[in-house]
Chain A
């Protein structure tokens, strides 16, 4: 896939974005673009501003200065398009194991935001929900309660929920926290497929550099400011990683298995 980064459709644009909590700067002068079809990993140390960056992308907080656009519009001005951002949160930390919701109900709720209040699910909605359930491979779980599922299964359900809204952009926050190693590998394989088979733009935030560097195509190294941004294979360079994490990390880059 050869395309000019300048001509590609821009999914996310950050222009000179600063963010402060009170007087404490969390992000300084952050600028980057995410293009359609990108598979971007955002990595950086804890406290480096990853979560803040994510909350800014989702429009949950506003930048102190600078400009953020999603799908070419300011987030506050996105209306129906807002539902085209699929989001998978870090872990279901608020979730009580007794929460009385089935997989069907939770995946269906991913279709809620794009529809009006008086909306009843149409054939198109139902088809999108069925498709999401199929792609995420949670068909055999659909009558189960979310609280009865394993970490890996829950994560797939959350992806299905995000897919039910027919997203153009999928944003994931540390998606494999609490998921065992085998399930993690499957999960990354699945994300790769979503990216190249279903042409979904993916932004993936993690502190787990080892995994992220082997999966994603682009990388944004973040430590309050953009340390570096570009194609993943070009960035796996000890100088940047030292700058990010100090020199404690012994990092090896495995040949890429994506195309």
Chain B
């Protein structure tokens, strides 16, 4: 059963996958309760622009997608504050816009390649050794931020007006949360793929919420579901030669259905 770890690329995929699995639902919980679920998908499509830049220039795609997602996430938050664009349409704008720019960039270069497809749907063969270091460093950074700002993020998640009245810097903390989302999205893109990363942030979280637990326990259970989905999805995708991201998300969906069934009223 553990023979697959003879291959270095599998070890790297599992390492990246496990880091992703822990971070995605931890951030995802804050997005779900604030009805920002679409944010992850939007930033994933935006980080494809970074991937396209990497494919054109030969730079490291983890770094370019990270940079693009972070810059655009701050822009989205600023635009949202001006309230010139109606509600969630701002997310739709960046979601399709990101994909469009990425596709144009790629077609300017070599046209569609297998490479791009692996970023859309995820692949266990693409994680390089430097990638692992970047993913691990960013993962530690995200977890540290969540630990330090947990109480503040919880306050805002519960009631933004109340948090502001209590003197929290809601604007700054919102921007930080969006930047953390951007970082975790661009890290996850290698394993799960841009089209499916939103699912990994949201589905295990929504499954965990069905159990009606405290905020902390909901987060822990979401991480548990996500780890289970990523690990079993990686195994299944290797043994049955399935698309990695899709397999992981299908497992997460099965967990969600079981969670719904287990918590019927």
Tell me the chain A residues, 112-150 only, with Cβ under 8 Å from chain B.
112-113, 115, 117-118, 143, 145, 148
A155 CB, min distance to chain B CBs, angstroms: 13
Chain B residues with CB under 8 A of A92: 159
Confirm or deny: A105 has a beta carbon within 8 angstroms of a beta carbon on chain B: yes
Chain B residues with CB under 8 A of A82: 166-167
Tell me the chain B residues, 26-65 only, with Cβ under 8 Å from chain A.
29, 33, 35
Chain A residues with CB under 8 A of B151: 109, 112, 115
Chain B residues with CB under 8 A of A117: 148-149, 152
Confirm or deny: B165 has a beta carbon within 8 angstroms of a beta carbon on chain A: yes
On whether A100 and B160 interact (CB within 8 A), knowing A112-B151, A112-B152, A112-B155, the answer reads no
The tally of residues in A whose CB lies under 8 Å from a CB in B reads 32
Confirm or deny: B93 has a beta carbon within 8 angstroms of a beta carbon on chain A: no
With CB as the reference atom, state the residue of chain B lying closest to A60: B164
Confirm or deny: A250 has a beta carbon within 8 angstroms of a beta carbon on chain B: no
On whether A99 and B155 interact (CB within 8 A), knowing A104-B214, A105-B214, A145-B212, the answer reads no
Interface contact B162-A87, CB-CB below 8 Å: yes
Interface contact B161-A89, CB-CB below 8 Å: yes
Q: Which of B35, B151, B165, B218 has the most CB of A within 10 A?
A: B165
Q: Which of B35, B154, B161, B163 has the most CB of A within 10 A?
A: B161
Interface contact A83-B166, CB-CB below 8 Å: yes
Confirm or deny: B195 has a beta carbon within 8 angstroms of a beta carbon on chain A: no
Chain A residues with CB under 8 A of B238: none
B189 CB, min distance to chain A CBs, angstroms: 27
Interface contact B215-A102, CB-CB below 8 Å: yes
The tally of residues in B whose CB lies under 8 Å from a CB in A reads 28
B66 CB, min distance to chain A CBs, angstroms: 24
Interface contact A100-B166, CB-CB below 8 Å: no
Confirm or deny: A236 has a beta carbon within 8 angstroms of a beta carbon on chain B: no
Interface contact A58-B165, CB-CB below 8 Å: yes
Chain B residues with CB under 8 A of A143: 214
Interface contact B168-A113, CB-CB below 8 Å: yes
Cα A256 to Cα B120 with chains together (Å): 70
A104 CB, min distance to chain B CBs, angstroms: 7
**A143-168 interface code vs B (CB 8 A; 1 in, 0 out):** 10100100000000000000001000
Chain A residues with CB under 8 A of B117: none
On whether A85 and B165 interact (CB within 8 A), knowing A98-B209, A106-B158, A112-B155, the answer reads yes
Confirm or deny: A94 has a beta carbon within 8 angstroms of a beta carbon on chain B: yes
Confirm or deny: A23 has a beta carbon within 8 angstroms of a beta carbon on chain B: no
Q: Which of A87, A99, A104, A145 has the most CB of B within 10 A?
A: A99
Cα A109 to Cα B151 with chains together (Å): 7
12 A–B contact pairs at CB < 8 A? Answer: A58-B164, A60-B165, A89-B162, A95-B159, A98-B209, A102-B214, A102-B215, A109-B151, A109-B154, A109-B155, A113-B163, A115-B151
The 10 closest A-B pairs by CB, nearest first: A113-B166, A82-B167, A100-B218, A87-B165, A102-B214, A112-B151, A58-B165, A101-B215, A109-B155, A113-B167
